[in-house]
Structure 1
Amino acid sequence: MESKRKLIFVCGGSDCIKSGSKTLRKKIREEIKSKELRGQCKLIKTKCMDYCKSAPVVIIGEFVCKKATIENVLHQIKKS
């Protein structure tokens, strides 16, 4: 069974947290609760994904967003 929701994985490793992944996760959560994206996305916090030099890291579907910003993440969510 294929999921219709987009899966968004946000790294919760120590390097990513130091680089702002916690704040980024909160912003993503706010955006996916908006009318435009409501019910289309699932936000998942993960353990370290071994992309520590590129922190913070967000994976959207099969796309790895290194040194992620809220703008990059939202662009990729709407694109996919």
Structure 2
Amino acid sequence: MESKRKLIFICQGSDCKKSGSKSLNKKIKEEINSKGLKGQFKLIKTKCMDCCKSAPVVIIGEYFCKKATFEKVISQIKKS
């Protein structure tokens, strides 16, 4: 059974947290809720993805975003 929701994985490992993944998660969640996209995306906090030199790391569907910023993530969400 295929899900209609796009999955967004946000690494919460120690290096990603130091690089701002907690605030990034909060901003993404607020943006999804404010733009009426609730139910179309599912935010999933993960443990370390072993890409610490590229922190913070976010995966949106099949797109792997290294050194993720809010702008990069939102532009990818709009493409989805």
Q: Which TM class, normalised by the smaller chain length?
A: over 0.9
Alignment match, 1:68? 68
What stretches of structure 1 move > 2 A for 4+ residues in a row?
none
Alignment RMSD: 0.8
Counterparts of 1:35 and 1:65, CA distance in 2: 21
Q: TM-score, normalised by structure 1?
A: 0.95
Q: Which residue of 1 aligns with 2:33?
A: 33
Please give the alpha-carbon distance, in whole angstroms, between the structure 2 residues aligned to 1:39 and 1:78: 15
Post-superposition offset of 1:20: 0.3
Give TM-score, length-normalised by structure 2: 0.95
Q: Match of 2:56? A: 56
Unaligned runs of 5+ in 1: none
- 1:15 maps to 15
Q: Which amino acid aligns with 2:6?
A: K
Deviations 1:4-61 (A, max 9, x none): 1110000000000000000000001101112332221000000000110000000001
**2 CA distance for matches of 1:75 and 1:40?**
15
% of aligned pairs identical? 79
